[in-house]
Structure 1
Amino acid sequence: MEKVPDNFLGIEPELSNFEKSRVVVASAPYEKTVTYGKGTSKGPRAIIEASKQLEFWDEELKANIVEKIGGVATLKPYDIKNKKPEEVAQILERETKKLIERKKFVVTLGGEHSMCIGPARAYSKSFQNISILYFDAHGDLRNEYMGSEYNHACALRRIADVNGNIVHIGCRSLEEEQMGFIEKNKLKFFWAHEFKRGLVNYEGIINSLKENVYISFDIDVLDSGLHPSTSNPEPGGLDWYDMITVLRNVGKEKNIVGFDICEHSPIKNFYAYDFTAAKLAYKTIGYALLKT
């Protein structure tokens, strides 16, 4: 039996060449500040393994995404295991900026959600008129948590330090102080209960975003009954079609410039959850680069 190449999608060199590929997949296997469940450092590897089982044809976009966009290159994982979270932010910002300068569309696989700070900052500083579209069950707006301003619970607050154009999707857990920050800074929140009760304003989401959009996914935005393999699960949440409806609309109307997927914590022998994260990555690439 022929061995499948060890990269995102398990694709041959003609479709995974760095110089020719528009998209690059980076891995940030980090879990230094996790405060509940463990295992997020194994997320990137699990997502890449699951991606090898994906069908390349997408029935919704009516295209072989990887061929249509000219390939996807997979980078060697960042060596960040023993770094402080503020160092990780600096490293990922620097490395993402280098890739942006080479005209690459960067997909970063985490890892705990603190690792989104670096890529989000790199994109915020590299593009004008840019919003952060943040999918998460939690507010992530604490200024400091457990002795660190770069804890995963502070991720969006550190992004807001450099980019206040934030649209948050799917939140259902935050403290009162964070609510004050949201109101003071006029951040746009579209709550999980609005999706569950059919009250979400999809047009309002689009109108809240600027021309360019960087997306950060915490996989716990999904209903915990559908995707329990995450370090900080919350009851309720979005279902698959809630999420991809938002993504498809954003892809049609805006310019998605890059994204990350964080907080996937694999459960042994439960491959469906790994596959969900892998398909989310693949479809988001399609929504971003194939206008439908």
Structure 2
Amino acid sequence: MDLSNYDPNGVGNPNNNIFGLPTTEEDARLIILPIPWEVTVSYGNGTARAPDDILRASLQVDLFDPDMNEEWKEGFYMRPADQHILLKSDYLRREAELYIDYISKGEIVADNQFMCRTVKDINEGSEFLNQWVYDQTMALLQKDKWVGLLGGDHSTPLGFMKALAEKHGEFGILQIDAHCDLRKAYEGLTYSHASIMYNALNEIPNVKKLVQVGIR
């Protein structure tokens, strides 16, 4: 990372990357992969656009850390949010809202061909996202990068976890959350946000332990 024209004590430069750092993907140690996806949320929207909001707010974050000191020099780089993924999320989210409203009234999905098709569309869209996240993560891991996900609903890390398992073998998960997310196909959606830990434990044999903190 070229720091010759960078002042860590100055105002964050919006023309730079996250935290105002003049980092490129090539010289960054940690690559932040934004996931603009919120198809299955059941309470409120907004997570799909969180990465861009966090990027803007990151300019206000102080780089000083009493324990890590100058670790920021290892380099953080946040990729631009993929607009194709965001558009797909927006489209399927509209379908999901109709579907969730329908089942919330006690209606039977099997009695409605449109709703049956909606469930199929959402599940296929989620499978597409899982594969996309896996591919993006694995490509970065193969370059010996550290990878972090940012934004999106809770369903988004499954492909990331599968890539970690393939690259690094066994690992455990520390989940800080109000909910267990252990429901099997919540609301009939295989990869619901409320099913992420169920899917991780059932689809990734290398996940050996799940520790949950903050469950209420």
Q: TM-score, normalised by structure 2?
A: 0.71
One of 25, 39, 49 as aligned partner of 1:32:
39
Helix, strand or coil for the counterpart of 1:126? Answer: helix
Q: 2: CA distance between counterparts of 1:120 and 1:76?
A: 21
One of 60, 80, 84 as aligned partner of 2:85:
80
RMSD after superposition = 1.9
Helix, strand or coil for the counterpart of 2:156? Answer: helix
Which residue of the partner structure matches residue 166 of structure 2?
Answer: 125
Could you list the runs of 4 or more consecutive aligned residues of structure 1 that deviate by over 6 angstroms after TM superposition? Answer: none
Task: Report the residue type matching 1:24 in the other structure.
Answer: I
Q: Give 1:39 deviation, angstroms.
A: 0.9
Which residue of the partner structure matches residue 65 of structure 1?
Answer: 71
Q: Give 1:3 deviation, angstroms.
A: 4.8
Q: 2: CA distance between counterparts of 1:54 and 1:5?
A: 16
- Show structure 1 runs of 5+ residues with no match: 174-292
Q: 1: CA distance between counterparts of 2:26 and 2:13?
A: 24
1:170 has 2:213 as partner: yes
- Residues 155-181 of structure 1: per-residue CA shift (max 9 Å, x gap): 1111112134122222424xxxxxxxx
Go from structure 1 to structure 2 and tell me whether the alpha carbon gap of 1:3 and 1:150 turns closer, same or farther (over 3 Å shift).
same
Q: 2: CA distance between counterparts of 1:2 and 1:33?
A: 35
Which residue of the partner structure matches residue 92 of structure 1?
Answer: 133
Task: Report the residue type matching 2:25 in the other structure.
Answer: F
Q: 2: CA distance between counterparts of 1:2 and 1:43?
A: 19
8 Å CA contact 1:29–1:41 kept in 2: the answer is yes
Percent identity reads 28
Q: 2: CA distance between counterparts of 1:145 and 1:167?
A: 19
8 Å CA contact 1:132–1:167 kept in 2: the answer is yes
Q: 2: CA distance between counterparts of 1:91 and 1:156?
A: 19
One of 137, 154, 174 as aligned partner of 2:195:
154
8 Å CA contact 2:32–2:147 kept in 1: the answer is yes
Helix, strand or coil for the counterpart of 1:92? Answer: helix
- Show structure 2 runs of 5+ residues with no match: 1-10, 90-124
Q: Give 1:129 deviation, angstroms.
A: 3.0
Q: 2: CA distance between counterparts of 1:170 and 1:130?
A: 17
8 Å CA contact 1:5–1:11 kept in 2: the answer is no
Helix, strand or coil for the counterpart of 1:26? Answer: strand
8 Å CA contact 1:136–1:171 kept in 2: the answer is yes
Task: Report the residue type matching 1:65 in the other structure.
Answer: E
Q: Give 1:133 deviation, angstroms.
A: 2.0
Helix, strand or coil for the counterpart of 1:114? Answer: coil
Which residue of the partner structure matches residue 49 of structure 1?
Answer: 56
Go from structure 1 to structure 2 and tell me whether the alpha carbon gap of 1:60 and 1:2 turns closer, same or farther (over 3 Å shift).
closer
Q: Greater helix percent: which structure?
A: 2
Q: 2: CA distance between counterparts of 1:35 and 1:2?
A: 36
Go from structure 1 to structure 2 and tell me whether the alpha carbon gap of 1:34 and 1:3 turns closer, same or farther (over 3 Å shift).
same
Q: 1: CA distance between counterparts of 2:36 and 2:187?
A: 21
Q: Greater strand percent: which structure?
A: 1
